Amino acid sequence: MSTAAKPPLKRIVLPVFFALIFCFIVLQFVNRPLITNPPVTGEIEAPAQVKAILKKACYDCHSNETNLRWYDKVNPVYHMVAEDVTEGRKGLNFSTWKDLAAPDQKGKLWEAVNQIIAGAMPLKNYTAVHPGAKVSLEDLAVLKKYLSDMVVSKPADTSKTNALDKQYKNWTKETAAQTAPSVSSNGIAYIPDYKNWQVISTTDRVDNGSMRVITGNDIAIKAIKENHINPWPNGTIFAKIGWDKIADVDGNVHTGAFKQVEFMIKDDKKYASTKGWGFARFKTPKLLPYGKTKLFATECVNCHRPESANDFVFTSPVKH
């Protein structure tokens, strides 16, 4: 055992240490991102109890009332904080809430609460530093009740029945002559064959008053049969078909007007930037592609993020 090989503390360790300190100080002044609080133009209105939870758990990143503590402003943390705030406001901003149409507001709220239930929000690295932002079980119960109370279940109104009748007439007399295929802004074309695929499951959506049937192509069905669904094999395609709900007087609910069909196409290389899945949504019988630019898929990924351990898939398949 030789002690002569020990590096001299003063010659190497100390200069490196001071160099790091110097870099740290410089880092505080260069290239500082700017977090401003733009005006609050149309804030969400909610019962005081609900709003208090949103304020403590969400507002730092999802409003124009970001409250930075001194330790949030120290780089390199500050850079991360700035990115979280920018991204957060883009996805959901309670200060510009009234810019959203009423159904979108509802959708965002249900999604937000589901993100909290799944533990995806508030972000773990945020609550680690701001433990006060954690959503307790009591808080969650308040939020859930708030959402449940918003659900109104009405018997069929004539506008829904009329919408269905009109669609149904056009659909049943439809001939083979189809218009040009609809293509989503990320290049995914509408796949008419989805209705010939086997069924994977169904969903009754209380939150947005819709019903869904999920079908899968042969690769998906084979994967289900063999339990090879985490991850799903490349080539898997799901279609989720969504309709309005129409209830009769006996409490039987049937599918109303066709709202949309959504696709998830698995290709871990081609769609690497969106977690290995290509997303597309075609709305109304005109099959209008959703999303003006291909950035719309970020919205899909963000909502599917709580299912990251399940290959970003919500559906639990039923073997048929």
Partner 1 sequence: MRSSYLLLPALLLFLVSCSEKHPDGASLINKEASLPAAFNFSKMGLKVITSSINKKQGTMSTLYGNDLALNTAKAGRPAQPGEVLALITWKQKDDDRWFGAKIPGKLQSMEMINTTAAPGAAATVTYKHYDGDQMALNPDTLVNQERIKYIFDQKPSVMP
List of residues contacting partner 1 (CB under 8 A):
110, 113-114, 117-118, 124-125, 144, 147, 164, 167-168, 171-172, 174, 194-199, 201-208, 211, 213, 215, 221, 223-230, 241, 243, 245, 247, 250-255, 257-258, 261, 285, 287, 306-310, 314, 316-320
* Element spanning 54, H or E: helix 48-57
Rounded to a whole number of angstroms, the minimum distance from the CB of residue 38 to partner 1 is 31
Q: Compare residues 269 and 319 and give the one whose CB is closer to partner 1.
A: 319
Q: How far is the CB of 93 from partner 1 (least distance, A)?
A: 22
In one-letter notation, the amino acid at residue 265 is: I
Q: Shortest gap between Cβ of 210 and partner 1 (angstroms)?
A: 10
Q: Cα(208)–Cα(248) distance, rounded to whole angstroms?
A: 18
Between 167 and 185, whose beta carbon lies closer to partner 1? 167
Question: What sign does the dihedral 68-69-70-73 (CA atoms) show?
Answer: negative
Is residue 264 within 8 A of residue 238, CB to CB? The reply is yes
Nearer to partner 1, 98 or 320 (CB): 320
- Provide the 10 A C-beta neighbour count for residue 85: 22
CB of 252 to partner 1, least distance (A): 6
Residues 129 and 219 sit within 8 Å (Cβ to Cβ): no
For residues 66 and 313, which CB has a smaller minimum distance to partner 1 in the complex?
313
Rg of the Cα trace of the chain?
25
Comparing CB distances to partner 1, the nearer of 66 and 312 is 312
SS3 5: coil
Distance in Å, CB of 286 to partner 1, minimum: 8
When the beta carbons of 276 and 306 are compared against partner 1, the nearer one is: 306
CA distance 68 to 129: 12
| Residue 260 burial by Cβ neighbours in a 10 Å radius (0-12, 13-18, 19+) | middle
Closest approach, Cβ 10 to partner 1, in A, equals: 15
Contacts of 258 (CB under 8 A, 6+ apart): 167, 171, 241, 242, 243, 284, 285
Nearer to partner 1, 276 or 317 (CB): 317
Instruction: Name beta bridge partners: 230.
Output: none
Q: Smallest distance, Å, CB 147 to partner 1?
A: 7
Q: Which is nearer to partner 1, 11 or 319 (CB)?
A: 319
Give min distance, CB of 118 to partner 1, in A. Answer: 8
The closest alpha carbon to 295, from 266, 263, 272, 273, belongs to 273
Q: How many CA atoms within 13 Å lie on the side-chain side of 146?
A: 21
- Cα separation, 312 vs 317, in Å, equals 14
